[in-house]
């Protein structure tokens, strides 16, 4: 008889572990309580449960990403796969962060959660947990991925797009990796399992600011941002550009620094198809004056967590930062070269 796969389920709280309180839903269920009514899972695998934290995912921070990384590293050799129960609101950020903090994975690391608590009569929690365990047991599914509503989504391509519906997540600018149907994993995009030892990173650089542009934005907000943060991600309109209302001050402040001192990343508020700063004059004028990074078809969550990982490595030149930013990791980008 084939030995059962060993799966470690890590819990962090979230809606899946929540119950109704007089102040609204709050994550109070412990790991073993999540498995009540799912005893059949223990029949197909050897499952252990470890509580990492118990939070509404709104309160997840980069410190929790590092704690999850450290926990997986500490138990990596003892288990065949990992399931992380997580709140949906920031799950895509955590999936992105783990994609960069744990590389060359030879085993599945699966994040899941639910839109309804597992204790409710109508819930997506039990299906998502069952599907996630199926993927975590599958040797052909290495790497960080989100499993939700039957879809397997690369950890760097996932985005929450619905607030209440069970099909809350979608894969942005990249096909889903596969699906789970009646407990059977059907893989569309097959990943080569790494034969090398995984690499775990233990630092991120938190001084990254996301500047979301709005019409008529005033320049006085820019100075403290450039003073406090080492990287500014500009979530611009359309394919990308800096509006006239802030352009003069933005360029003046950025011009004080050498490339690598302050990192500028241009991305877009548009969900699909990505950025291309070179299309319009409002974008071309940045290209003519400054060296910066561009997200192209990467998700905001991937951009944010990737640059935190890169800057956390240590002292790097702009060229080294650029090379790492455009390096494809866990399907995060289709850009295969740096634009001249």
Same-domain check for residues 70 and 166:
yes
**Residues 38-54: what's their mean pLDDT?**
90
pLDDT in tens, 262-304: 999 999 999 999 988 878 667 778 888 888 999 999 999 999 9
- How many Å apart are CA 181 and CA 62, to the nearest integer? 33
pLDDT averaged over every residue in the chain: 91
Domain contains 245? yes
The two tokens of residue 257 are: 């620094």
CATH of the domain at 144: 3.40.50.1170
CATH of the domain at 223: 3.40.50.40
* Band (238; pLDDT cuts 50, 70, 90): confident
Choosing from 11, 12, 15, 333, which is the catalytic residue? 15
271 assigned to active site = no
Same-domain check for residues 80 and 17:
yes
- How many Å apart are CA 213 and CA 276, to the nearest integer? 16
**Residues 232-244: what's their mean pLDDT?**
91
pLDDT at 121: 87
pLDDT at 175: 97
Same-domain check for residues 160 and 194:
yes
Domain contains 82? yes
pLDDT in tens, 161-194: 999 999 999 999 999 999 999 999 999 998 777 7
Helices (H), 111-209: 125-136
For the residues of 80-126, what is the DSSP string, one character each?
SEEEEE--STTHHHHHHHHHHHEES-SSEEEEE--SS-TTSSS-SHH
Q: At what angle do helices 244-254 and 281-289 cross, to 10 degrees?
A: 10
Same-domain check for residues 143 and 65:
yes
pLDDT at 165: 95
- 315 phi, psi to nearest 5 deg: -70, 110
* Band (340; pLDDT cuts 50, 70, 90): very low
Domain contains 340? no
- How many Å apart are CA 293 and CA 283, to the nearest integer? 13
Same-domain check for residues 127 and 34:
yes
Task: Kindly provide the residue ranges of all beta strands, DSSP E only, lying in 227-302, ordered along the sequence.
Answer: 231-236, 263-268, 293-294
The two tokens of residue 308 are: 């935190």
Same-domain check for residues 43 and 20:
yes
**Residues 139-144: what's their mean pLDDT?**
94
Q: Is the pTM of this model over 0.85?
A: yes
Same-domain check for residues 146 and 271:
no
Same-domain check for residues 141 and 229:
no
Q: Higher confidence at residue 121 or residue 141?
A: 141
Degrees (nearest 5) of the Cα angle 181, 186, 190?
155
Domain contains 281? yes
Final residue before a domain boundary, out of 136, 166, 200 = 200
Same-domain check for residues 181 and 245:
no
**Residues 206-213: what's their mean pLDDT?**
97
Whole domain around residue 278: which residue ranges? 208-325
- How many Å apart are CA 12 and CA 85, to the nearest integer? 6
Q: What percent of the chain shows pLDDT beyond 90?
A: 74
User: Contact at 8 Å (CB) between 84 and 291?
Assistant: no
Whether pLDDT at 338 is above 70: no
Domain contains 285? yes
């Amino acid at each position: 008889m084939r030995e059962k796969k060993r799966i470690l389920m890590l819990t962090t709280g979230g809606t899946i572990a929540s119950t109704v309180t007089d102040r609204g839903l709050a994550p109070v269920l412990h790991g073993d309580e999540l498995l009540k009514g799912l005893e059949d899972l223990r029949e197909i695998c050897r499952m252990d449960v470890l509580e990492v934290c118990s939070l509404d995912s709104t309160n997840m921070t980069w410190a929790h990403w590092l704690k999850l990384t450290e926990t997986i590293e500490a138990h990596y050799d003892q288990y065949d796969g990992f399931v992380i129960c997580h709140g949906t609101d920031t799950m895509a950020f955590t999936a992105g962060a783990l994609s960069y903090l744990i590389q060359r994975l030879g085993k599945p690391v699966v994040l899941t959660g639910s839109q309804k608590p597992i204790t409710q009569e109508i819930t997506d929690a039990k299906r998502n947990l069952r599907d996630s365990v199926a993927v975590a047991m599958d040797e052909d599914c290495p790497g960080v991925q989100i499993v939700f509503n039957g879809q397997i989504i690369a950890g760097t391509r996932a985005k929450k797009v619905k607030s209440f519906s069970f099909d809350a997540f979608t894969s942005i600018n990249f096909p889903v990796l596969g699906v789970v149907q009646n407990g059977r994993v059907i893989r569309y995009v097959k990943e080569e399992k790494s034969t090398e030892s995984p690499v775990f990173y233990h630092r991120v650089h938190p001084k990254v600011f996301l500047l979301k542009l709005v019409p008529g934005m005033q320049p006085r907000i820019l100075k403290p941002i450039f003073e406090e943060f080492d990287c500014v991600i500009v979530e611009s309109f359309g394919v990308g550009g800096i509006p006239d209302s802030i352009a003069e001050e933005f360029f003046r402040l950025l011009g004080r620094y050498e490339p690598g001192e302050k990192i500028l990343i241009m991305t877009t508020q548009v969900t699909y198809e990505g950025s291309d700063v070179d299309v319009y004059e409002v974008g071309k004028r940045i290209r003519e004056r400054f060296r910066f990074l561009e997200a192209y078809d990467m998700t905001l969550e991937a951009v944010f967590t990737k640059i935190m990982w890169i800057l956390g490595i240590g002292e790097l030149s702009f060229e080294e930062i650029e090379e790492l930013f455009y390096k494809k990791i866990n399907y995060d980008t289709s850009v295969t070269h740096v634009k001249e």
